[in-house]
Amino acid sequence: MFQEFIGSLDMVFTLVNLLAVLFGLILGLFVGSLPGMGALTGMTILLPFTYHVSPLVALVALMALSKGSYYGDCIPGILFNMPGSASAAITSIDGHALTKKGYPGSALQGSLYGSVGGDLLSDVVLLVSAAPLAMLALRVGPAENSMIILFALTIVGMVVLDDPAKGMVSVSLGIILGSVGRDPFLFTERFTFGVLRLQDGIRLVPFLVGLLVISEIYCKFSLGKVTAKSKEVKPEALEQGEKPREDKLTWSDAKIIAPSVLRGGIIGLFIGAVPGLGSTVGGFVAYTQAKRISKYKEGSREDLMQGMVSSESGNSAVNGANLIPLLALGIPGSATAAVLYAAFMMQGITPGPFIMREQPGMIFALLITLILANIILFLIGPYFVKVAKQALKVPPAVLFPCILVISTVAVYSIQRSMFNVGLVFVFAILGFFMKRTGFPVLPTVIAFYLVPIFEEGFRRSLLISGGDFSIFLRSPISIFFIVATCLSIGFTVYSMIRESKKEKNA
C-alpha cells in the first residue's frame, strides 16, 4: 500500500491535474458567491464536461469546485446578509454582524481560514482513516439519525435569537413548508392545495433565494437604504464603548481562530461521516457548541469571530468527510456526494469496499490532490477577499438590482421553470414580513432543510420496529440526544419564566 501511495505522487503533480484544481477552485468561488447557485448546481453543470477527461482530473475538478463554492457561499452572507445556502446562512449570523461593526475584511479572512482549516482537517483524516470512520458511521442508523435532527430542530430557534417563542414559530413554519408534497412512504399529497407543481415539494433553491436574498433587498428598499451612493461600512460604526481597530486579523485573533477551526472541524468530520446529515447540520452544531463555551462578551468582536469561524469550519469539514461513506461503503452521504458518485460511474469506477484494492493509486492521488487544493485555496483566497470586499463600494442602487436579476436567472436556469421564479417572489414577500415583524428567517430555513431527513429516519425506524417506539431507547446515541433535547427545552422554559419574573419585579 505504501508503494501505491508513493506512486500516486506522480499522478498528482502533473500540469493537467494542477490546472484542474485551479480551474475548479476559481469556478467554485465564482459560483458560490452568486446567490441561487452553490456547489450542487455548479457540480451538476460541470459534470457532463468531465466525461472526456481522465477519472482523476474529472473528480479533482468537481471536488475543487465544491471546495471553492463552500467558501464562496458565505461571501454575500457576510457582506450583505444574503447567503446563498443554508449552511452559509449560519456563518452569516456572526459574519454579517462583524461587517456591520466595520470589520468586513476580518470577517472574510476569518471565514477563509475556517473553511480551509476545517476542510483540510477532514481531508487529512480521510487519507489516514477512512475505513475505521466509515464503520463507526454505520452505528448511526435511522433512529439515531432522527434523534440528532430532533435535537437540532428544538434548539435552532433558541440559539440564534433572543426570543425563543418567535424562534419556535419560525421553526414550525419551516416544518410545514418542508412537508409540502407527496408523503415519502404513502405517496399521498400534503399541503399542495391541488397545485400539480407542488407534488414533488418545494425546491430548496427558490426557497433559499426568496427567503434569504430577495427578502433582504425588499427590506433595504423599504428602509430607504438603497441609494445611488456607496455606503461602505467604516470602523467607526461600532457599538458604544468599543474602541475601533484596523480591519485586519492580528496574532491575537489566532488564539480565537485556531481552536475554533479545530473544534468545528472535528464536529463537521463526524457529522459528514454520517450519510444524510450534510453541511448545514455540521455548521449549525459547530456554531451552537461555540456559543455554549464562549468566554467572550456576547456580541463582541471576539465572540462573533469565534461563532463565525466555528460554523464555517464545521460546514466545510463535511465536504471531505462526505467521501468517507462514499469511498468506503459506496453510499453517497449528501447531494454533492451523489454527483461525485455519478462521476465515478461515468468513468467506469464503482465506489465501495473494493475500490482501494482495485484503484489504490488513483484514490491516493485524489486524496492528496484534495489536500493540495486546500493549500492552493489558502494562497489565492486572500486575493479573492480583496476583490469581494470592493463590493461594499458599489452603490446599492446598482448592486441590489444586479443581485435580483442574477438570482432570478439562476433559479430559472436550474429547471427552466417560471413556477420556481414565482415561488422566489412568494417567499421573498414572506421573508420580508417575517423580518419586519421580528420573526427570524434562519430557523425556518434550517427546519425546512432538516424536516425531510427527520421524517424519513423517524418513520423508517418505526417500520423496522413494527411501530414500537422503544427503538429510540435501544441505542446510547439516541438516548443521549433525547435527554439533550429535553434538557434544552427545560432550560429554555426556565429561562423564559425567570426573565418574565425579573420584568414584573422591575
CA distance 355 to 274: 20
Measured in whole angstroms, the distance separating CA 171 from the mean position of its chain's CA atoms is: 18
CA distance 164 to 158: 5
CA distance 317 to 321: 6
Residue 347: its pLDDT value, please? 80
User: What type of residue is 68?
Assistant: G
Residue 396: its pLDDT value, please? 72
Q: Are 454 and 143 in contact (CB under 8 A)?
A: no
- Which residue blocks in 184-334 are alpha helix, DSSP H? 204-208, 215-222, 251-273, 279-293, 301-321, 323-329
CA distance 468 to 162: 38
Exposure class string for 366-404: b at 16+ Cβ within 10 A, else e: bbbbbbbbbebbbeebeebbeebbebbeeebeebbeebb
Residue-wise pLDDT tens digits, 250-282: 777 888 899 999 998 888 888 877 666 677 778
Q: Are 317 and 268 in contact (CB under 8 A)?
A: yes
Strands 181-182 and 189-190: antiparallel
Q: Quick one: cell of 383?
A: 486575493
CA distance 398 to 367: 43
CA distance 443 to 119: 25
* Residue at grid coordinates 485573533: 253
* Residue at grid coordinates 417506539: 469
| Alpha-carbon distances, residue 85 vs 69, 140, 175, 194, 433 (angstroms) | 10, 26, 18, 29, 21
3-state secondary structure of 417: coil
Residue 240: its pLDDT value, please? 46
CA distance 345 to 410: 28
| Alpha-carbon distances, residue 154 vs 150, 177, 256 (angstroms) | 6, 17, 28
Residues of the chain predicted below pLDDT 50: 230-241
Residue 137: its pLDDT value, please? 59
Going by C-alpha positions, the residue among 28, 26, 23, 21 that lies closest to residue 43 is 28
Residue-wise pLDDT tens digits, 10-54: 777 888 888 999 999 988 888 777 765 667 767 777 777 777 788
